[in-house]
Amino acid sequence: MRESVPPESRPYHHGDLRRALVEAACRLLEREGAAALSLRGVAREAGVSPAAPYHHFKDKSELLDAVAHEGWEKLAIAFQAAREAHTSAHERVRELGVAYVGFARLHPDLYRLMYDCSRDKADMPAHVHEDENSAYRRVKDVLISAGADPGDEVGLELATIACWCTAHGLAEMTSFKQFDPLKEALGGEEAFLRGVLDHVAVFAKGL
């Protein structure tokens, strides 16, 4: 396979169409939104015939899976940055929540796609939940570093899930505009986030 594509008229064989399709889909997702994301549209954006994607993806949902996969990796990067900001123990947990919600607000359609794909498979992908350096593991690590008992397997698991649930719920809620006045009163989006998160024990006290 070829690595790069000639700048002028594309050759018959693309080179790395799979990658190009995923990137085209990401672009369309940001530009036009999730409702306007069609397989034909992605092929169009990539400059290829409507049936071409079927040589790289079984069907539309498999392409969306690949886009979602990229999303989870971007989220892990956002987590990395948040964890590297050293503050107090309980603030570290809370700021992880802020970073999470920030990512969701920055890429709302991608964020929703990530969960739609997971839900359809009734499972979070392993690289999100189980793997070393998975997003889930990172939350757990921060909880431990914030004082949670690593010996209490069940309790730690529950606390991690509680963190994730709250952050996920907040990520979806904060886009509703009836909260705007409250945000205004508190001095902006992030202050609002911290205000809500501080009402949740796991975020406020690190379990």
Partner DNA sequence: AGATAATCTTTACGTCGATCAGATAGAGAA
Partner DNA sequence: TTCTCTATCTGATCGACGTAAAGATTATCT
Minimum CB separation from a second copy for residue 143, in Å? 10
Rule CB under 7 A: choose which of 19, 27, 30, 51 binds DNA.
51
**Which of a second copy, DNA, none is residue 201 near (CB under 5 to 8 Å by kind)?**
a second copy
The interface region with a second copy, picked from 37-45, 51-59, 63-71, 177-185 by CB under 8 A, is: 177-185
Residues that bind DNA (rule: CB under 7 A) add up to a total of 23
What is the C-alpha to C-alpha distance for residues 26 and 38, in angstroms, rounded to an integer?
12
Q: Tokens standing for 13?
A: 């064989």
DSSP labels, 126-156: HHHHTSTT-HHHHHHHHHHHTT--TT-HHHH
DSSP labels, 106-126: HSHHHHHHHHHHHHHTTS--H
Rule CB under 8 A: choose which of 107, 134, 197, 206 binds a second copy.
197
Q: Applying CB under 7 A, does 159 fall inside the site for DNA?
A: no
Please provide the size of the chain in residues: 207
**Which of a second copy, DNA, none is residue 60 near (CB under 5 to 8 Å by kind)?**
DNA
Q: Applying CB under 8 A, does 134 fall inside the site for a second copy?
A: no
DSSP labels, 164-206: HHHHHHHHHHTT-GGGHHHHHHHTSHHHHHHHHHTTSHHHHH-
Residues that bind a second copy (rule: CB under 8 A) add up to a total of 41
Rule CB under 7 A: choose which of 34, 52, 144, 156 binds DNA.
52
Rule CB under 7 A: choose which of 30, 31, 50, 152 binds DNA.
50
Q: Applying CB under 8 A, does 36 fall inside the site for a second copy?
A: no
* Residue (of 110, 69, 75) closest to 96 by Cα position: 75
Cβ proximity to a second copy, 14 vs 192, nearer residue: 192
